Structure 1
Amino acid sequence: MYSSRYHVRHETTYEYLHPVSESHHLLRLTPRDLPWQQCLDHRLLIDPQPDLQRTFVDSFGNHITAIQFLTDHNRLEVSSECWVDLAPRPTVEPGPAGQSWEQVRDQLRYQAGHPMAGDTLQAAAFRFSSPLIPTGQQYGSFTPDRRLTEACQDLMLRIYQEFTFDNEATDVSTPVASVLKQKRGVCQDFAHLMIACLRSLGLAARYVSGYLLTNPPAGEARLVGADATHAWVSVFVPGAGWLEFDPTNGVTPDHAHIILGWGRDFSDTTPMRGVLLGGGEHKLDIAVTVVPEAEFELIYDQGDTLLTKPEGLAANPAVQTPSAVNR
């Protein structure tokens, strides 16, 4: 039973100083379908029109649109829109929730003569360092015999309380060690740091990319393009699956976090990345807007969007959303 419905617009514009003669791009802009999330519709508008375009699913199950341009262009615009229904995430049963972090760690280790369950075997791939996330003793330290769910909640809140959001302190290449030292960064940095801590203890954690509904300041209207993509963490618990934690906002994701995809780190989930010939310097503009169904017609005039409002209502569409920071 779905409780919240959202319209998401994600606009990306590249302006190049010199003509680009050829370029190849991978777009990760289609939300995943999950037991608690349904992508009702998704539309892409690309200008100029790609010479080649195809879709596929990567090794993590994320939907990819590959586009290729073979003629000169000085500008590239990609507009993505979707309607998504969200339900509350599944609750964790008392049994799996009561496991200590050491019990979970040991289940993720290979032991001769003891085959892993399929989901545990797949999760074990997220125990190791990855291109943007190192592991080491400086990152991992949990109290012995503590329940994994409690330890993760505490780690999430420590990052939320002790680190400062600062979108000028880091960039996409800033190492996790620098984030830990300066205690400043953005959602990508805080997700990478939390994952480094968990993997350093032998636990399975993955990077989740998506969108977060935010509320404008009291008395102010919701603005088109005022949001951004968001990142958070999921941790594997045998018998319960993947549990999500948002260290940027200090919350466990529920009916306001929309998942685009997941991977080992940001490099596996970049919304748009590519290679090109020519272009020289470029200017990049990104605008994201997440709108509850009830506000859609207050934000957009007829004809302003690629997708119209879907017929029918999400169950209980008036659910209140928590105040959050989209970082």
Structure 2
Amino acid sequence: MQYRVRHITKYAYGAPVSLCYNMAHLLPRDTEHQRCLNQKVRIYPLPVYQNENTDYFGNQTFYFSIQEAHKKLEIDVTCDFDITPIDLDAYRAKSITSCGQLRAFMQSPRTEAEHLAKEYLLDSPQIRRSEDLRNYAKEIFSDEKNVLKATLEFTHKLFSEFTFDPNTTTVATPLEQVLAQRSGVCQDFAHLAIGCLRSVGLPARYMSGYLETLPPPGQEKLIGVDASHAWFAIFLPELGWVEFDPTNDLMPSDQHIVTAWGRDYADVTPLQGVIFEGGGSQQMSVSVDVRRL
């Protein structure tokens, strides 16, 4: 399946910004099941400096600097992807590791992949392990349970017990509050799942990207109504990193497009930077469109 993703971010400032430095995680990355066919970045005003690089996690980053006064900033990124569907039945057939075995492997890694996965057991800027998170998940991830089956069960638990509500959280809402109020958005659900998995001794990482959304039958798809999406992945020695989407209660196959992954949202923020002046106020709008080619 081939997709075109267009992601437009606009800023309007209360007063002219004299100088800004920015870093974006908006460029695609190639994976085992995903290949970027082409990409185009347009920025207004034109940057005086721009450069592409790769971060610690292997994600593509885009740096740019604007050194002229401006009251508006627009970043327009268009990428084409080719997605190969994941054979989820094959994943289930090959999954043999139990939760107890995976915990033991993480204590005494045998392979390079297991050594690298240990990093995703640790606390990160926005995810802290806790007893509350452990208690919420420990029964599902008992030693004898198959990891993949247990994670599917846990994904369904989050989907069933939490309500999607963008008005109840911000990017800084603590996991304990999300757990208590049982509501949030995809980022919260991904963070909560990762925090629970790490709290029971299993490695998990944050996935950032896009999800194709389809209009109701008979209605035309509107432009710009899609959004960035977040989900999580857990490491299995026999399969590598396997992805789960608790917001939609499924394992991603060919409708999830990956832009970046890391320990949590702080590692892969779509756009971050520093501005000088600007009047102390700003308004941001984001438009995302995911279309099949």
Measured against the shorter chain, the TM-score band is over 0.9
Instruction: Give the one of 121, 133, 143 matched to 1:139.
Output: 133
CA distance in 2, matches of 1:202, 1:144: 11
Structure 2 residue aligned with 1:157? 156
CA distance in 1, matches of 2:111, 2:275: 43
- Once the two structures are TM-superposed, the CA of residue 92 in structure 1 deviates from its matched residue by 2.6
Structure 2 residue aligned with 1:124? 118
User: Is 1:41 the counterpart of 2:38 in the alignment?
Assistant: yes
Unaligned 5+ runs, structure 2: none
User: Is 1:286 the counterpart of 2:286 in the alignment?
Assistant: yes
User: Is 1:178 the counterpart of 2:177 in the alignment?
Assistant: yes
Structure 1 residue aligned with 2:76? 79
- Aligned residues of 1:93 and 1:240 also touching (Cα < 8 A): no
| Secondary structure at the counterpart of residue 91 of structure 2 | coil
- Once the two structures are TM-superposed, the CA of residue 139 in structure 1 deviates from its matched residue by 1.0
| Secondary structure at the counterpart of residue 150 of structure 2 | helix
CA distance in 2, matches of 1:73, 1:107: 53
Deviations for 1:149-181, whole angstroms, at most 9, x for unmatched residues? 111001100000110000111011111111000
Aligned 1:18-97 pairs, distance under 5 A: 18-89=15-86, 91-92=90-91, 94=93, 97=95
Specify the code of the residue in structure 1 equivalent to 2:7.
Answer: H
Residue identity (%): 40
| Secondary structure at the counterpart of residue 217 of structure 1 | coil
Aligned 1:263-274 pairs, distance under 5 A: 263-274=262-273
| Secondary structure at the counterpart of residue 287 of structure 1 | strand
CA distance in 1, matches of 2:38, 2:186: 27
RMSD of equivalent CA atoms? 1.2
Runs of 4+ in 1 over 4 A off after TM superposition: none
Which is further off, 25-34 or 58-67?
25-34
| Secondary structure at the counterpart of residue 192 of structure 1 | helix
So what's the TM-score if we normalise by structure 1?
0.85
Instruction: Give the one of 5, 9, 12 matched to 1:12.
Output: 9
- Once the two structures are TM-superposed, the CA of residue 144 in structure 1 deviates from its matched residue by 3.4
Structure 2 residue aligned with 1:317? none
| Secondary structure at the counterpart of residue 83 of structure 1 | strand
| Secondary structure at the counterpart of residue 214 of structure 1 | coil
CA distance in 2, matches of 1:89, 1:29: 23
- Aligned residues of 2:92 and 2:148 also touching (Cα < 8 A): no
Structure 1 residue aligned with 2:203? 204
Structure 1 residue aligned with 2:255? 256
CA distance in 1, matches of 2:133, 2:162: 15
User: Is 1:242 the counterpart of 2:241 in the alignment?
Assistant: yes
Q: How many aligned positions are there?
A: 285
So what's the TM-score if we normalise by structure 2?
0.95
| Secondary structure at the counterpart of residue 92 of structure 1 | helix
| Secondary structure at the counterpart of residue 107 of structure 1 | helix
- Once the two structures are TM-superposed, the CA of residue 143 in structure 1 deviates from its matched residue by 2.8
Unaligned 5+ runs, structure 1: 294-327
| Secondary structure at the counterpart of residue 157 of structure 1 | helix
Which is further off, 190-199 or 16-25?
16-25
